[in-house]
Amino acid sequence: MSINIMKLIFVSLFITSITASCSNDDDNKPQQKQFGIFKILDDKGTVEMNGVINDSSLKNFNALLISFKNIKQINIRQCDGSNNDDINLKLSSKVNKLGINIHLLDNGLIASGGVDFFIAGKKRTKGKNTKIGVHSWSEEEGKDKKQATDYPKGHVKHLPYIKYYVSVGFTQKQAEDFYYFTINAASASKIHFMTDAEIKKYGLLTN
């Protein structure tokens, strides 16, 4: 056997050994658990959510789905709202279409856009000593800062939220009643924590 053939065999065996080693290293890598504000809790389909919904939240959730396809429930520890309403509604709609249940943990808090996300749950439940806060949204219009209550009832600015509530299971009346309640409950700079009677009245929890 020539020296060149011997070298070729050696190089081939060396590459095969390295490839196998890398493959074993990949197999032994721990599965990623944290995806932005989402964290995989177990292999039974449970995910924890903790933090403000932001520009990356939808992308992070999609990445989570690649690794963890069978999500059955999202447990919210705290979600004070969102800094991107468009991303929040897209993320919430996706969660709803996947039929995922949402539970607000004991001592948990949701507010503003976090409440919109909670409503996406196929089943919506909560633990003890929780807080659910709502208020008006606001936006910059040139040099002016406007909030939801500056626009008349039925204005096009209100429609995205009302349509979203309908898309996740509210009737048109339920959607409008809840939406207008939220924007009138507190100004954009304040927060109103819903009473048990209000939570029941507006159907935030499923039976």
Residue 32 half-sphere exposure toward CB, CA atoms < 13 A:
13
How do the pLDDT tens digits run along the chain, 207 residues long?
544 444 444 444 444 444 444 444 445 555 778 999 999 998 888 999 999 999 999 999 999 999 888 899 999 999 999 999 999 999 999 999 999 999 999 999 999 999 999 999 999 999 999 999 999 999 876 668 899 999 999 999 999 999 999 999 999 999 999 999 999 999 999 999 999 999 999 999 997
Superfamily of domain 37-201: 2-enoyl-CoA Hydratase; Chain A, domain 1 (3.90.226.10)
Pairing of β 124-126 and β 101-111: parallel
What pLDDT was estimated at residue 56?
Answer: 97
What does the block give as tokens for 147? 């909030």
Pairing of β 144-147 and β 138-141: antiparallel
The number of beta carbons lying within 10 Å of the beta carbon of residue 167 is: 15
What pLDDT was estimated at residue 144?
Answer: 81
What pLDDT was estimated at residue 24?
Answer: 46
Instruction: Check if the beta carbon of residue 111 is closer than 8 Å to that of residue 191.
Output: yes
40: which strand partners? Answer: 47
C-alpha distances in angstroms, 135 versus 13, 14, 94?
A: 67, 65, 24
Q: Where are the chain's structural domains?
A: 1-30, 37-201
What pLDDT was estimated at residue 32?
Answer: 78
Rounded CA gap, 182 and 130, in Å? 18
